[in-house]
Amino acid sequence: MFLIDLVVGARPNFMKAAPVFEALRMRRPDWRVRLIHTGQHYDERMSELFFRQLSMPKPDVNLGIGSASQGIQTARIMVALEKWFTRDRPNLVFVFGDVNSTLAGSLIASEMQIPLAHVEAGLRSFDRTMPEEVNRVLTDAVSDWLFTTEPDAEVNLRREGIAPERICFVGNTMIDTLLKHLPHALALHMPDRYEVIPKRYAVVTLHRPGNVDDPSVLQRILRGLTEIASEIPLLFPVHPRTRQRLEGLVISNSNLRFFEPMGYLEFIGLMASAAVVLTDSGGIQEETTILGVPCVTLRGNTERPITVKAGTNILVGDDPQRMVAEALRALNGKGKEPQMILEKWDGKAASRIVDCIESHMQ
């Protein structure tokens, strides 16, 4: 039987993989689809809860890798995956996005000469100081099938010497997940739960090492967030990495409200009714564009430029003045709005991926 392994390991992977898993299972019941969770994210709210909310079955394999430095974590995942691939060799391996599990899965599949598919290929920030950028470039270099979310991604891949027949523009599987689950998320009435008024509060997420590991950068960002919280409630579900960095810091504004990480549906429901979202996440830049919510990205670059060109996203780096100015613009109804409907961001990307695989197998 044709065996496909989907390797996931961190929260962003789950939203990208869920529609692919579902499409493969529905369209090709004659294929065996195995879900391998590396355990890169091991917190219950960051992992198991997402599987339940996205209607994904319990992973067939959970490697239980846990937290470590990038090098150690990637190496541990590679060792564990090699054992599983040797025991029951797949015909095709899927990896998603740009996390350490993505790189580990791509390298071991390539070394074992197992065909490799990368979902969300070709995105580039052109900033090699970002670990995710290195993961993206290396994964694309060894992938056999490169599934892209936007036209610029193919331009990037062609520039790097990737043969055009290996590239397939399918759209964005994260948007497949968003569109499928948005009605349920809205039905949770999240603003009521947090006692805030729709379009009169902000949401913030923060987790990238460049923002949270450098105390001076983190202090600048917190200064901006505190000023914004003087105008509107600012709801901050705190990533475990960020929580460690915040320990011991004095936050003087009670309107800046910290919470444990949320489930996928709860967070989408909260974000959809926000006046503005402040983030350093790549996926949230895409989700806010589809939701029509102004997004202030706390980075100087983005691997998702289409969200700036056509969507609601604006880059401000770690400049607190720009951060505050853009947030208040959004609060006053002058935030950036989507400029166009993005091609193939229509909830059907996973189906196109299956189409592409089937066409190559004929």
Residue positions annotated with a catalytic role: 207
Sign of CA dihedral 95, 101, 102, 106: negative
Helix 320-331 to helix 215-229 angle (10° resolution) is: 30
Cross-strand bridge partners of residue 181 = none
How far apart (Å, rounded) are the C-alpha atoms in residues 313 and 291?
Answer: 12
Contact between residue 103 and residue 138 where contact means Cβ atoms under 8 Å apart: yes
Residue 94 backbone dihedrals phi, psi, to 5 degrees: -105, 135
Nearest Cα residue to 249 out of 287, 275, 286, 223: 223
Tell me which amino acid residue 227 is.
Answer: E
Hey, what are 173's tokens? Answer: 């599987």
Distances (CA, A) of 135 to 100, 130, 239: 7, 9, 21
- CA dist 155 and 321 (Å) reads 34
Question: Which region holds residue 251: left if phi is over 0, alpha if psi is between -120 and 50, else beta?
Answer: beta
For the chain, how long is the longest CA-to-CA vector?
63
Residue 223 and residue 106: Cα distance in Å, rounded?
A: 40
